[in-house]
Amino acid sequence: MKITTKMIAASALIACAGGVFAQNSAPTTEPRNVVQLSATGTVEVQQDLLVLSLATSKEAADAATVQTQLKQALDAALAEAKRNAQPGQLDVRTGPFGLYPRYGKDGKINGWQGRAELVLEGRDFARITTTAGKIQSMAISQVAFGLSREARAKVEGEAQTQAIEQFKARAADLAKGFGFSNYALREVAVNSNESMPGPRPRMMEMKSSATLMGADSSVPVEAGKAQVIVNVSGSVQMR
């Protein structure tokens, strides 16, 4: 009899605990009168960063010869570029360096080819183009423009302010349009990116640097404009 009583009491306790768990796990009511929206702020700014890529290609019967030739060309280009390097104005870095087998009609390797790149990047356009003109072991393969971190940071705050003000104005208009007097911000996300209107950077056929640069040892370049875009998105609850 005592054993039976304990079993009944234990069963009642488990049933009670199960009822409490079911009550606590009941789904909550979803918030009402919530609307999703987004707004964008855009500021146009002059590009102040030049990225000039130089490259050379070599080929030979064996990989070791190609690698040696590429290394010699890259070493000579680096030595010339580093003479004029200055942080922020002209930064020098190496690009891709690779060797690839060359196949004949029979599907067998009949030689090797390779390519090496050097990148000159910075805000001093004249220094960069003049330095590129002095490099004889590599030729210009690409010219591109962008924004420095300093220029981007300077206008990003302005674009963000625009986006936030537009978000707030749109939220107020939506609340009023649906017959509410106000709204409360629920969640928000802020994202920024850079857009460059116009054609993509032009790839240049590799020729000798002397041919490209001319007598004054510089290639004419002119930057365009970029757009710093900040997007604010989220949800508000109208009330």
State the DSSP string of 179-210. Answer: T-S-EEEEEEEEEEEEE--SSPPEE-----HH
* Other residues' Cβ atoms within 10 Å of the Cβ of residue 45: 18
Of the candidates 156, 136, 177, 124, the residue with the CA atom closest to the CA atom of residue 227: 156
* pLDDT tens sequence across 132-170: 999 999 999 999 999 998 889 889 999 999 999 999 999
Give the mean model confidence (pLDDT) for residues 189-197: 80
Taking domain 49-147+207-224, whether its CATH number is 1.25.40 is answered by no
Give the mean model confidence (pLDDT) for residues 190-198: 75
pTM: 0.67
* pLDDT tens sequence across 85-110: 999 999 999 999 999 999 989 999 99
Cα–Cα distances (Å) from 86 to 74, 103, 136, in that order, read: 19, 43, 21
Domain boundaries defined on the chain: 49-147+207-224
Average pLDDT of the chain to the nearest whole number: 83
